[in-house]
Structure 1
Amino acid sequence: MGAAPEKDLQLHDARIEESAEDLYENAPCGYLSMLLDGTIIKVNQTFLNWTGYQREELLTGKRFQELLAIGSKLFYETHYAPLLRMQGFVNEINFELVRKDHQKIPVLLNTLQRRDAAGNPLSNRTTVFNISERKKYEQELLLARKKAEQATQAKADFLSMISHEIRTPMNAIVGIANLLRETSLSSEQQEYVRILSFSSENLLNLLNDILDFSKIEAGKMTLEERSFDIRQLIYNIVYSLGVKAEEKGLKVQVDVDERVPACLLGDPIKLGQILTNLLSNAIKFTERGGVTVALRVQELFPDAASLEFRVTDTGIGISEDRLGPIFEEFTQASYEINMKYGGTGLGLAINRKLLELYGSKMSVESTPGAGSSFSFDLRLKIGQEARQPDGPVEGVPDEQTLRGVKVLVAEDNEVNVFVIERLLRRWGVELEVVANGHQAVEKVTANAYDLVLMDLQMPEQDGYDATRKIRSLPEERFQRLPILALTASSRLGMEDRLEQAGFTGFVGKPFKLEELFAKIARHTSRSMPIERRRHPAREQAQEVSGSVTLSRSVNLKGFRMLTAGDPEGLVELLSITLSLCEHYKQEFQDALEAGSLKQFEFHTHKIKMTLELLQAHELRAALKEGKALLSEQEGDPARIQSVGQVIQRELDAIIDGLKMELRKG
């Protein structure tokens, strides 16, 4: 009876021993035991299967390092073995094993050194993992990544090519539309030109959105850091979009915390793009009520300010299930919104990616039918003194500023030459025109110019080669000469190529009048007359902001709120309003004389926001009466003439008041 349990126990021990041996021999990884010099003393069947060797071939004095490829053998001697001796173990080391048939296997090694009771090393136990499949997967990933990068580059190249092809004719369209505005046109023709300008600007904005998104996606967008006035930036954006709000009867308010520093360090172009996208969307999706742009100080530090930007509207709102997806590219809140309002759905996606450069993100709160509120936080350094912005000079530039400036224009497109010549000659610029890079180099060598406008794509010699040639000329004046590229392209990385070629900067085609004027003025040191016009406002800020009443029915309270206590912004806003009022005098007179209700309503709508800011109650009443008279089937000529005189008188009073305030500044 006692022999049976003993036999069962022996059988059990034998099974355990056989199972352990089987597990060792056929494990999914290779096992080796080696002496300290690498001599193999034990190896499992898995390792033998991988390498193609017989057990006897490896257990007759073969050293492990002899099975390694040359590069791995060097790494074994210089890194692996010393590290093993020093710390007693080595983990996750990549080697290449050479099979008996000379094929190579990528492997991963983990080695543990056995030591005696005194701590002296005895042998090494190594686990070997075959990572052939992993390497294959990694190669597939690398290949997929390379293909994705090639696809992204192909897309970028395609967009760059298309942008050039689209921008070249658009340069002519926008340029000719601007020139048409300067000629004598009938009321109907003026309406056609307005629609032409509006449509071309929309197409240009669409193109810019797509190119901006592609540039960010390719990692080519970076942040600059320079001084700027945040109040002035917000004012410029609000005023530039004011016409759209005015046309819809919306009230736009600016609420800036008094503690916001006057000068900050950051990228005003990217920040302006974010705010413009938000404000433009708010106006687009709001039919009644208004929009508020708010800037709050969350915390002030000795050298920085933590700020919250918020744009709130009373528009259509967004349902809760669409709040997340609206930040994705080419996505809008609904199909119906896309059909009604249009757009690419890229604005918020671009904002999200721009804010990621700042390490920030966009937040949104919205209620369908009640409005939306978009906000984001930024921490910006506090600057010492705001410099003149690099962007376009807002307002009405003094055209005498550029009188006498000598400019060479290198451009082969006849339409572009026509537009540029008209603009520059109107500003009193002395210019010469050449059709290719060779001629440009010859002219620059033989004559003294204040600035060169250089097209990039010209026959015989392009703008890049011509600029490099000019910069290589020995005289120092050729190094200082401002050379601005005229380009319809937005190729990713173009700025780097322009800089390498020696360009001072560039003007995109189609260019805006203010941008071209500002860049020529700045690079020829002719911007001082504009600055002198602004500078006294800084010295007499109290006088400007303290003088509120312009006439018996007009005051500056609305202007002061809009410019948030910025005296320079106030003076600039007065200048713009003065120019508009002088323009509206003739427009209203022409509409009344022609009996055109359509034109009268159009200009009444455009001046609506200005009337609200100035609180011009009598002029508003006169315009309302004029509209009623023109609506009658048989309007009374005498009454129409009378209301026309009232309109002219009220506009004259506003103009005189604005001029008086500007003389004080």
Structure 2
Amino acid sequence: MEGRADTEPGKAPSEDSAEELYENAPCGYLSTSPEGRILRVNQTFLTWTGYSREDLLGGKRFWELLTVAGRIFHETHYAPLLQMQGFVHELSLDLICADGRPLPALINSMLKRDALGRPRSIRTTLFNMTERKRYERELLMSRRKAEQLAQSKAALLATLSHEIRNPLNAITAATRLLGMTPLSDKQSKYLRILGSASGNLLALVNDILDWSKIEAGKLTLEQREFSLRELLGDILNGQAARAEEKRLRLHMDIDERVPAGLLGDPVKLGQILTNLVSNALKFTEKGGVTVRVALHSQDGDACDLSFQVRDTGIGIAPDRLAAIFEEYTQANYDIGMKYGGTGLGLSISRKLVALHGSKMVVESEVGKGTCFSFDLRLKSVAGAATEGAAPSSASSQQALRGLKVLVVEDNEVNTYVLARWFEHWGVSFDAARNGREAVERLRQGGYALVLMDLHMPVLDGYDALKVIRQLPDERLRQIPVIAISASTRIWQESQVLAAGFTDFIGKPFDESVLFRKMARCTSREAPEVPAQPPEAAPRAPEAAASALVLPPDFSFTKLRQWAAGDSQAGAALARSSVQSLEQARPALTAALKKGAADAFERACESITGTLHLLEAQGLGAALRRARSLLAGNAPDAARVQAAVFAIDWEMDTLVGALVAVASEADA
């Protein structure tokens, strides 16, 4: 009939029938009886598996299409779940195709019941997971490759650091030795430049190695006793010369309630604070840097401490605050060009803080300064394990005299440097170039200590130590062995000690640390010699008698250590200390007379670094007594006048001794 319609009257035309949609759906459909016999299947499923419709509808059961493991899972989990809850969602099972290959599938099943609630059929939808599984395998392989690459990079950097740090150890040690010889002013200047350059290079190598270890996930926290006050003091001592060079104030303010001894990882905490202080000094041109530690709360032996490093530097724009923690990134290009640096310090510090379970916070205002802060929870202990000072007196330097040491080192330059220090300390030694030679020399006897490099040819340090610890001679099995390595940082000390070494020191090493560790391992600890301040100005006659029996009120030991044998540097530090004290004196006196506690506290903060440098116990005690006056009710005029007199007396004594030091250097 002409004009015949393709559709029935009253029905809208459709491109695909429901049957076509079912057969060619993007997923597979199965209908089975409650016993699992396949009743209906769509073309998509047949295409994926390669079966014909006749193969499946001839009485084949669904579980017969599964692998052995899938059949077990079907019996123990799939079927019981379907019976109990009436559905099963997103089960991952492998089907066996007609050609025997596995087909990963994601399965969803629904149990249909009749009007009486009896199971009538099971409808199953299947999604082909072949591409997804392939993608997951590729992701897994990429992850493994990335992990292997990170490990390879860490190994490469460790090897490179070993090769770099060995000659760097010789440079820094030779620089120190050269500084102990008579030098002209021009030679001393060149020597300071050499020392600064080698120190910067060492910091760069350490930063890169630290970053690689953090990325490889090989960094863990140590737990040891330490003194937070001494740790901060050492950090500020190390940065004082730089602050003095830029004429910046460097302050330390520790809450008096902070326990003397804490349990934690002083190395990583020191690294965080050193990075922050160094960074603050780098970007500050005038004003100063303040390190503040406050005790928030204490619950039993657990202390919640707040650390803060604040500077008066150039500041950071708000839109660049997040970027400063990215590795190899500076706040902007101009800052990177002007101040230099790798951009790793803050990133490393943030990750070390995160390792403690805390978070680094930064607040900044352009042109006014920046404040970095973080909180740590540490345990308090009865005492703190502290690192002693370098052997500074003639008696302490004799502590190692007569000691016989075996040095196992394949680098002749490093052996030569050690020889010069041993000569200075009166230590005799023999040298071995590898672990096998070391074992043979030890069997000959006579050694009280072994200094052993970890990376050597023929037999490395670890394997040599295993042989030594298994020797028949009990004395040799117990001989102290100190590991020395250029590729192992101090935060890996636990790994070295677990291998059986008595102690560990990393290269380049500080000769005072080596001296102390050698003395400790051989039970030759240097005697405690009280510091004598011959530079102290004469006291009033009536105080002379008491001065003979009281311990010294101050010491210039740290001042001389900072000067490193340079009389001009010592004089500059002395003059700077005088200036700091004289500037603070009127502010202290005025605040004390007015009863202004806040102003008095600010004036005290301004000379915290000076007090630490001079170990000014007498002035510190006078300031504490004055602070206690301001903390209570309004004190009477007589007590205030006595406090002012005590502060003036202690300052006059210090200033007089400092002026004498500066005059001797200028003479």
Q: Per the shorter chain, which TM-score range?
A: 0.7 to 0.9
Q: Which residue of 1 aligns with 2:401?
A: 403
Cα distance, 1:435 vs. partner? 2.3
Partner residue in 2 for 1:593: none
Equivalent residues in 2 for 1:111-260, closer than 5 Å: 111-115=109-113, 121-260=119-258
- Quote the residue 1:387 is aligned against: 385
Counterpart secondary structure, 1:449: coil
CA distance, structure 1, for counterparts of residue 85 and residue 400 of structure 2 = 76
Residues 422, 615 of structure 1: alpha-carbon distance in 2 compared, 3 angstrom cutoff: farther
Inter-CA distance 454–582: structure 2 relative to 1 (3 Å threshold):
closer
Aligned residue in 1 for 2:284: 286
SS of match in other structure, 1:42: strand
* Count of residues in correspondence between the two structures: 574
Aligned to 2:480: 482
Instruction: Find the partner of 2:354 among 346, 353, 356.
Output: 356
Q: How does 1:52-71 map to 2 (within 5 A)?
A: 52-71=50-69
Change (3 A) 1:23 1:475: farther
Task: Say which SS state the counterpart of residue 388 (structure 1) adopts.
Answer: coil
Q: 1:512 to 1:252 in 2, by over 3 A?
A: same
> In the superposition, relative to structure 1, how do residues 653 and 191 fare at CA in structure 2: closer, same or farther (>3 Å)?
closer
Q: How does 1:632-647 map to 2 (within 5 A)?
A: none
> What secondary structure is seen at the aligned counterpart in 1 of 2:201?
helix
CA–CA distance in structure 2, aligned partners of residues 204 and 69 of structure 1: 60
The CA distance in 2 between the partners of 1:453 and 1:571, in whole Å, is 39
Say yes or no: does 1:577 pair with 2:575: no
Tell me the residue number matched to 1:644: none
Cα distance change of structure 1 residues 118 and 387 upon mapping to structure 2, 3 Å threshold: farther
Instruction: Measure the CA separation in 1 of the matches of 2:58 and 2:279.
Output: 80
| Long gaps (5+) in structure 2 | 1-7, 541-550, 585-654, 663-667
1:551 has 2:537 as partner? yes
Answering whether residue 430 of structure 2 is matched by residue 432 of structure 1, we say yes
1:466 CA drift (Å)? 1.4
Among 100, 107, 113, the alignment partner of 1:102 is 100
Evaluate the alpha carbon distance shift between residue 477 and residue 114 of structure 1 in structure 2; reply closer, same or farther with a 3 A threshold: farther
Q: In structure 2, what is the Cα distance between the partners aligned to 1:263 and 1:467?
A: 34
Partner secondary structure for residue 142 of structure 1: helix
Q: Quick one: structure 1 residues 123 and 235, their matched pair in 2 at CA, closer, same or farther if it must change by over 3 Å?
A: same
Residues 366 and 500 of structure 1, relative CA distance in 2, 3 Å threshold: closer
Q: What is residue 644 of structure 2 aligned with on the other side?
A: none
- TM-aligned CA deviation for residue 274 of structure 1: 0.5
Letter in 1 for 2:505: V
Provide the identity percentage. Answer: 52
Change (3 A) 1:521 1:614: farther
Q: Distance in 2 between matches of 1:119 and 1:448?
A: 94
**3-state SS of 1:294 partner:** strand
Q: Which residue of 2 aligns with 1:318?
A: 316
Query: Equivalent of 1:338, from 329, 333, 336?
Result: 336
- When structure 1 is superposed on structure 2, of 164-173 and 272-281 the one drifting more is 164-173
Q: CA shift at 1:417, angstroms?
A: 1.1
Quick one: distance in 2 between partners of 1:426 and 1:115?
A: 96
Runs of 4+ in 1 over 6 A off after TM superposition: 491-494, 570-573
Q: In structure 2, how many angstroms separate the alpha carbons of the residues matched to 1:469 and 1:360?
A: 43
Q: 1:651 to 1:375 in 2, by over 3 A?
A: closer
Q: 1:470 aligns with which of 468, 473, 480?
A: 468
CA distance in 1, matches of 2:183, 2:656: 24
1:326 CA displacement: 0.6
Cα distance in 2 for residues equivalent to 1:96 and 1:205: 56
Please tell me the residue identity of whatever aligns with 1:576: K
| Root mean square deviation, CA, Å | 3.5
Q: Which amino acid aligns with 2:124?
A: T
Q: Judging changes above 3 Å, is the alpha-carbon distance between structure 1 residues 550 and 176 closer, same or farther for their aligned structure 2 residues?
A: closer
Which of 44, 47, 50 aligns to 1:49? It is 47
What 5-or-longer segments of structure 1 have no aligned partner?
1-6, 538-543, 555-567, 589-601, 618-647, 656-665
Distance 2:199 2:41 in 1: 76
Deviation at 1:221, TM superposition (A): 0.7
Which AA in structure 1 matches 2:557?
S
SS in 1 for 2:341: coil
Tell me how far apart the structure 1 counterparts of residues 127 and 377 of structure 2 sit (CA, whole Å): 49
Q: Residues 492, 189 of structure 1: CA spacing in aligned structure 2 closer, same or farther, 3 A cutoff?
A: closer
Q: Return closer, same or farther for 1:119/1:519 CA change in 2, 3 Å cut-off.
A: farther
Distance 1:474 1:74, change over 3 A: farther
- Please, which moves more after superposition, 129-138 or 395-404? 395-404
Distance 1:580 1:59 in 2: 92
In the alignment, the residues of structure 1 paired with residue 117 and residue 446 of structure 2 have an alpha-carbon distance, to the nearest angstrom, of: 85
Q: Aligned AA for 2:166?
A: T
Q: Contact conserved, 1:407 with 1:452, CA < 8 A, in 2?
A: yes
Q: Which moved more, 1:75-84 or 1:443-452?
A: 75-84
The CA deviation at 1:429 is 2.6
- Cα 1:372/1:253, change in 2 over 3 Å: same
Aligned to 2:72: 74
Residues 240-291 of structure 1: CA distance to partner in whole angstroms, max 9, x if unpaired? 1111111111111111122222222221111110000010111111121111
Is the CA contact 2:275–2:349 (under 8 Å) kept in the aligned structure 1? yes
Q: Residue type of the partner of 1:489?
A: S
For 2:345 and 2:560, the matched residues in 1 are separated by 33
Label 1:349 to 1:385 Cα distance change in 2 as closer, same or farther (>3 A): same
Q: Which moved more, 1:484-493 or 1:169-178?
A: 484-493
Q: CA deviation at 1:34?
A: 2.1
Alpha-carbon contact 1:553-1:616 (below 8 Å) kept: no
Check the 8 A contact 1:26/1:45 in 2, yes or no.
yes
1:345 CA drift (Å): 0.7
Show the counterpart of 1:296.
294
- Distance in 1 separating the partners of 2:554 and 2:481: 29
2:38 maps to what in 1?
A: 40
Q: 1:533-558: per-residue Cα shift (whole Å, max 9, x none)?
A: 58xx9xxxxxx9xx9x953699xxxx
Distance 1:572 1:24 in 2: 94
Shift of 1:578: 5.5
Change in 2 beyond 3 A, CA 1:439/1:652? farther
- CA deviations 1:414-434 (Å, max 9, x no partner) are 211111111123223332222
* Cα distance, 1:573–1:451 mapped onto 2, change above 3 Å: farther
Deviation (angstroms), 1:197: 1.0
Equivalents in 2 of 1:87, 1:52: separation in Å?
Answer: 32
Cα contact 1:29–1:127 (8 A) shared by 2: yes
